Amino acid sequence: MTGQTISALIFDLDGTLVDSLPDLAEAMNELMAENGLAAHAQAAVGAMVGNGVTLLVQRAFSAHGIAMDGEALERQVARYLDLYEPRSARLTRFFPHVEGIVQALRGQYALGVCTNKPTGPARQILEDLGFSGVFGAVVGGDSGVPRKPEGDMIMLTAERLGVPLSEAVMIGDSPADVKSAQAAGIRSIAVRYGYTVIPADELGADAVVDDFREIPRLLEIWQSRS
């Protein structure tokens, strides 16, 4: 790893900045109940997160042996969003140390959020947690470009931040985050505390951290190497 300017940090949301699993799981289990199905354990819902709401809902039904697609899936996705969006930040909280570190990084880097969650709920969570205006760009899964693990959403985030793509670093918790960074040709940092069922060390990220507080020093090291 050679020294290289880093001017932008692009963060995943769920499982990286915020622990949204309690709200995601409660809304999902309301949807399951409406369909006469048993509730999923919160950890099971966490394993379904990461590739957008459509796959989340599809996986929840699949876990009950129900293949859901086409218009039926679209209806269930719409209903899930109806259940989730009004309460998307009721139980959702920042992971430890995220709030202070992000505020500190804000003075050094352009900050963006790149999430497969729809943009509206993503912005609402950030606003409800007091982070309205902290991020220069929030790109959600409904932004009109292919979702992660493709690289397009990262490229769009960098464009909206007004920084060269090569000067951005992606920080996330899932295979989709790391693969999207690789597809975009940028470096990535994976956090070990997220929702992925694949160990973070096996995701192929350029670095892996246990604690969000490790990130500023890691960035300094990357930029100082020659």
The verdict on whether 12 is a catalytic residue reads yes
Q: Which of 12, 14, 173, 177 is catalytic?
A: 12
Question: What phi and psi values does residue 17 have, to the nearest 5 degrees?
Answer: -85, -45
Q: What is the DSSP string of 14-34?
A: BTTTEE-HHHHHHHHHHHHHH
Q: Which amino acid is at 104?
A: A
For residues 149 and 55, the answer to whether their CB atoms sit within 8 Å is no
Cα(173)–Cα(176) distance, integer angstroms: 8
Question: Which residues participate in catalysis according to the annotation?
Answer: 12
